[in-house]
Chain A
């Protein structure tokens, strides 16, 4: 059974069997506009919670993607490097960024659930 969590920096993480898959939210992709470039971590990289993990760029904006939790990168989504528009079309699906093995499941405690994130976004608008 997987569960999805969110950060206030507009990342999502879906956790299943100790592996978290990370991407940016629909709100984030919409705010950035057409994504033109993505830079991903390398498999095996060790990320720490809140640290820079990836870069995402539109024509007029560049944004860091932070690791929602600490862990070692297990896979990256090469498809979004080749076709950055996937992040716009399916931010929580084919537009995922990378997955990592959680170092400490306790990191999830500080994250938002979907209802809390939706409420957070509503306040921003």
Chain B
């Protein structure tokens, strides 16, 4: 087995599928015998075996513990996954979100019995509105892409209200794929706009594309190259002059919290990924939350529900009516990702206004430190300073026979989660590194040591070692072609 720079080795434990451990009749939950009643099933009783395996509680606990050991998490390793913002997820947030007074309340309890829950939602909203300088917020979006959908729906509803037939949405080529997909879901057509040589929107090209059929510009800022759009005020002015709305994808808002207010950039609407900027756990892919801040012009079109306060206390507006006459409708069941709000609020209260600003500064400092220390060995795509993430392309691997993918896989053997690869699409073989404020200088220095070591190894012609990587993992490279050509998406009895 190959030696690694860090000396790290991953754990190896083989674990069968639940279904292969079936011990028929076994059960990991002791339930009382159901009372005898004459059933009310109307002959619709399920009689055929379902096929679920029987397991004892210790067997189940060991199964999932072993599975967990095959994962990398922020709790265990540095996770510099660009555009994903893998920051520390405080355990206090988990504890508080589980208080019975918050976790064990039903969405349709009488409003008089959930005043604390509505107040919690409103406090979360207050922090987010204050930080962004925006007057209104829609709390129901379940994730970033859902927030995009929410924002574009409000834009569409506002345009309909004005009687305007604008249907074109401008989206930079470097945008995340959800942007065009969300625009399409709202009945818009997508028109790409190119970047300039500095990795930012080409203002002249944007202006040329603006017209009276343009509904909105969707722009990520800081953008997907990790750069602040330094002409953003001119961009906003041009967009507004054309009668269009300015949507900001807030995926990278974590870089500027407390230093820049969204309202001051001329933005009309932006979603916020609570699972990125405000530390709620990614959980292996959700649940997230994508509350969306809105300008005064778009606020009346926000989806239901809304939380209001009056003499009677907190109220929940669940229907279109006097309080929500122009709402675009309901986009999710119940009242938003409450459990995620609780975690985000616990984080905001813990950090305070001062700590949130410091976190943004440290995140930007850490990214610039990577850019500075790695700039001489790797090939930065654009001149710094960067914001919260540093973008490199694969020119430093030219003629080495090592690809971005190989390089990333070699980092796994070093005990690091790889950076984001091949995104954004606007540079060749992208390597996008986002350290976040969570990382200490010592961790960054260790990472830098591994990256520089690997870069030199690649240039020294040791491509074969990269092609074999990773070797210190529960599984080595997996055959994605086989998986796609012959999809096996569930277990079936042999």
Given a CB threshold of 8 Å, the question of whether A touches B is answered with yes
Chain A positions near chain B (C-beta within 8 angstroms): 34, 36-37, 57-59, 84-85
Q: List 14 A-B contacts (CB under 8 A).
A: A34-B481, A34-B485, A36-B481, A36-B484, A36-B485, A37-B484, A37-B485, A57-B484, A58-B481, A59-B480, A59-B481, A59-B484, A84-B485, A85-B485
Nearest-neighbor residue (CB-CB) of A59 within chain B:
B480
In the bound complex, residues from chain A placing their C-beta under 8 Å from that of B485 are 34, 36-37, 84-85
CA distance A57 to B485 in the complex (A): 10
The smallest beta-carbon distance between B27 and chain A, in angstroms, is: 40
Shortest C-beta distance, B181 to chain A (Å), equals 13
Docked pose: A36 CA to B480 CA in angstroms: 10
- Total interface residues on B, using CB and 8 Å? 4
Q: Using a CB-CB cutoff of 8 Å, which residues 436-494 of chain B contact chain A?
A: 480-481, 484-485
Determine the residue in chain A with the shortest Cβ distance to B422.
Answer: A60
Total cross-chain contacts (CB, 8 A): 14
Q: Which of A36, A84, A85 has the most CB of B within 10 A?
A: A36
A94 to chain B, nearest CB (A): 17
Residues of B within 8 A of A58 (CB): 481
Q: For residue A34, which residue of chain B has the nearest CB?
A: B481
Residues of B within 8 A of A59 (CB): 480-481, 484
CA gap between A108 and B484 in the complex, in Å = 36
In the assembly, what is the distance between CA of A84 and CA of B484, in Å?
11
| Closest partner residue, chain B, to A57 (CB atom) | B484
List, in ascending order, chain B residues with CB within 8 A of A36's CB: 481, 484-485
Residues of A within 8 A of B484 (CB): 36-37, 57, 59
> Which residues on B sit within 8 Å (CB–CB) of A37?
484-485
The residue of chain A having its C-beta at the shortest distance from the C-beta of B484 within the complex is: A36
Give every chain A residue within 8 A of B481 (Cβ-Cβ). Answer: 34, 36, 58-59
Q: Nearest Cβ in chain A — how far from B271, in angstroms? A: 26
Bound CA span A84–B486, Å = 11
Q: How far is the CA of A36 from the CA of B485 in the complex (A)?
A: 5
CA distance A57 to B481 in the complex (A): 11
- Complex Cα distance, B480 from A37, in Å, reads 13
Assembled-state Cα–Cα distance A58/B485 (Å) = 9
Quote the shortest CB–CB distance from A125 to chain B (angstroms): 13
User: Given the complex, which residues of B lie within 8 Å of A85, measured CB to CB?
Assistant: 485
List chain A residues, Cβ under 8 A from B480: 59
Given the complex of chains A and B, what is the CA–CA distance between A102 and B336 in angstroms?
56
Query: Which 3 A-B residue pairs are closest in the complex by CB-CB distance?
Result: A36-B484, A34-B481, A59-B480
* CB contact list, B306-320 vs A, under 8 A: none
Q: Who on chain B is nearest to A88 by CB?
A: B481
Q: Measured between C-beta atoms, what is the minimum distance from A20 to chain B in Å?
A: 28
Q: A34-B485, A85-B485 are in contact. List 4 more A-B contacts (CB 8 A).
A: A36-B481, A37-B484, A37-B485, A59-B480
What's the nearest-Cβ distance from chain B to residue A27, in Å?
A: 18
CA distance A58 to B482 in the complex (A): 11
A85 to B480, CA, bound (A): 14
Task: Report the bound CA distance from A117 to B225 in whole Å.
Answer: 35
Docked complex Cα distance between A34 and B480 (Å):
10
**Once bound together, how far apart are the Cα atoms of A59 and B478, in whole Å?**
12
Separation of A57 and B480 alpha carbons in the complex (Å): 13
**How many angstroms between the C-alpha atoms of A73 and B484 in the bound complex?**
28
**How far is B485's CA from A85's CA once the two chains are assembled, in angstroms?**
9
Give the distance to chain A from B23, nearest Cβ to Cβ, in Å. 37
Closest Cβ of chain B to A62, distance in Å, is 11
Give the docked Cα–Cα distance between A46 and B399 (Å).
47
CB distance from B413 to the nearest CB of A (A): 23
CA distance A24 to B481 in the complex (A): 19
Nearest neighbor of B486 in chain A, beta-carbon distance = A36
| B-chain residues with CB within 8 Å of residue A34 when the two chains form the complex | 481, 485
Distance in angstroms between the alpha carbons of A34 and B482 in the assembled complex: 10
Least CB distance from A79 to B in Å reads 14
Smallest beta-carbon distance B480→chain A, Å = 5
The distance from the CB of A57 to the nearest CB of chain B, in whole angstroms, is 8
| Min CB gap A76→B, angstroms | 19
Cα A59 to Cα B480 in complex, Å, equals 7
Closest B residue to A85 using CB positions: B485
Q: Contact flags (1/0) for B288-331 with A, using CB distance below 8 Å? A: 00000000000000000000000000000000000000000000
Q: Which residue of B lies closest to A84 (CB)?
A: B485
Query: Shortest beta-carbon distance, A83 to chain B, in Å?
Result: 9
- Shortest distance between the CB of B195 and any CB in chain A (Å): 20
A84 to B482, CA, bound (A): 11
Cα of A58 to Cα of B484 in the assembled complex, Å: 8
Q: How far is the CB of A81 from chain B (nearest CB, A)?
A: 11
Alpha-carbon distance between A4 and B485 when the two chains are bound, in angstroms = 30
Q: Shortest Cβ distance from B215 into chain A, in angstroms?
A: 26
The smallest C-beta distance from A33 to any residue of chain B, in angstroms, reads 8
A59 to B484 alpha-carbon distance, docked (Å): 7
Least CB distance from B113 to A in Å reads 50
The CB with the most chain B CB atoms within 10 A, among A37, A58, A59, A85, is that of A59
Give min CB distance, A89 to chain B, whole Å: 13
Q: How far is it, in angstroms, between the C-alpha of A23 and the C-alpha of B484 when the chains are bound? A: 21
Q: Which residue of A lies closest to B485 (CB)?
A: A36
Chain B residues in 8 Å Cβ range of A57: 484
For the complex formed, measure the closest distance between the CB of B32 and the CB atoms of chain A, giving whole angstroms.
50
Chain B's nearest CB lies how many Å from the CB of A84? 6
Binary interface encoding of chain B residues 394-406 relative to chain A, with 1 for a CB under 8 A from any of its CBs, else 0: 0000000000000
Contacting residues, chain B, for A84 (C-beta < 8 A): 485
Q: How far is the CA of A57 from the CA of B484 in the complex (A)?
A: 10
Q: Which of A34, A37, A58, A85 has the most CB of B within 10 A?
A: A34
Q: Which of B146-187 contact A (CB under 8 A)?
A: none
- Min Cβ gap A88→B in Å is 10
Q: Name the distance in Å between B488's Cβ and chain A's nearest Cβ.
A: 13
